[in-house]
Amino acid sequence: MDMVIKKIALLPGDGIGPEVCRQAVKVLDAVAERFGHRFEFTSHLVGACAIDATGNPLPDETLAACRASDAVLFGAIGDPKYDNDPTAKVRPEQGLLRMRKELGLFANIRPVTAYNALLKHSPLKSDRIEGTDLIIFRELTGGIYFGEKGRTADGVAYDNCTYSRFEIERIAHLAFQSAAGRRQHLTLVDKANVLETSRLWREVVRDIASQYPEVEVDYLFVDNAAMQIITNPKQFDVMLTENMFGDIISDEASVIAGSMGLLPSASVGAEVAVFEPIHGSYPQAKGKGIANPLAAILSAAMLLDHVGLPEEAALVREAVDEALTNQILTPELNATAPYTTEQVGSYVAFWIADSNEQQWNAHNIAVGVSTII
């Protein structure tokens, strides 16, 4: 295979973001070593650390670096000193919202997998969730979150929800393409019995469906979909929905995996894509070596898929499966004999670098004596 050179902007951010990003980079370095690629990383500020340094949660230099990169690996943003100060005019989350807007990140993609080794960690019954493997495509830049909002003189509050055909088409094509390469089943989640925007979503999806004849399409109202995700999630392959519904059902679906620390995501635009774990900054765990890096590592796998390296991405997921099977896990998933954030990352990286020797060296890697650090 020819050498692939990719520029990756690192935005470690706040809380445990730098710790889990460090492990994802370690894994990508192992991929580069094994396959003869080169990943060029540059690190930039975002979130609370950026406010502290520059007064701006998303400095222009960070934004420019994202635009100049092939992909962005993002950690987390958020800090208690802002969460606990309702008067703060500048907040870390403003950086994330601006990044989505400036980079045109219109599609949020969240895979949800029920790993056999972790079924017992989910609050749902194992027989309900076993075999679940779905992807949620959430529209990210339209809908009620971005519509006109305000209050009238007599105290009535309003939030307008608007969508254009173009906004729906661009994410629908991504979802159909994903379904075509998976189990060829797409479910549109809406509220077309009540909302005019949902009726437009159905019209557009029905029009586009003719371009993907191999994909079976069905439609669910969001209230029914919320129930079905809990009672029978394995029926779903690709789920497509608008911004607010996607926000809700993707968080609901996260309980299937048994840990927020296992859920990666991608936010995709026309030119740039950002890859990040969904777990947030978890400031209580900062610096303690207990943060689960697997969501960040799986986000790196999504990044590899995005830049055209599916074999490498598959190997990363295989290595994560090995870590899960062998219980090389941080405390929330292995309370009796836990490993540190760095030990988990080292185990995955070593397995990728030379999986043929894994059976001989797994113990040394697990206890953190690997030369891969």
Which residues are tagged catalytic? 145, 191, 223, 247, 251
Nearest to 276 by CA among 57, 14, 7, 61: 14
DSSP 8-state symbol, 88: -
Nearest to 31 by CA among 359, 365, 315, 291: 315
Say how many CA atoms lie within 13 Å of 282 toward its Cβ: 22
142 and 101 in contact (C-beta within 8 Å)?
no
- In sequence order, which ranges of 70-160 are alpha helices (DSSP H)? 80-83, 92-102, 126-129
Buried-state track 274-303, b at ≥16 Cβ within 10 A, e below 16: bbbbbbbbbbebbeebbbbbbbbbbbbbbb
Number of Cβ within 10 Å of residue 347's Cβ equals 30
117 and 324 in contact (C-beta within 8 Å)?
yes
- C-alpha span between 324 and 117 (Å, rounded): 6
| Long-range Cβ pairs for the range 84-92 (8 Å, 24+) | 90/51, 90/55, 90/56, 90/57, 91/57, 92/13, 92/14, 92/47, 92/48, 92/50, 92/51, 92/57
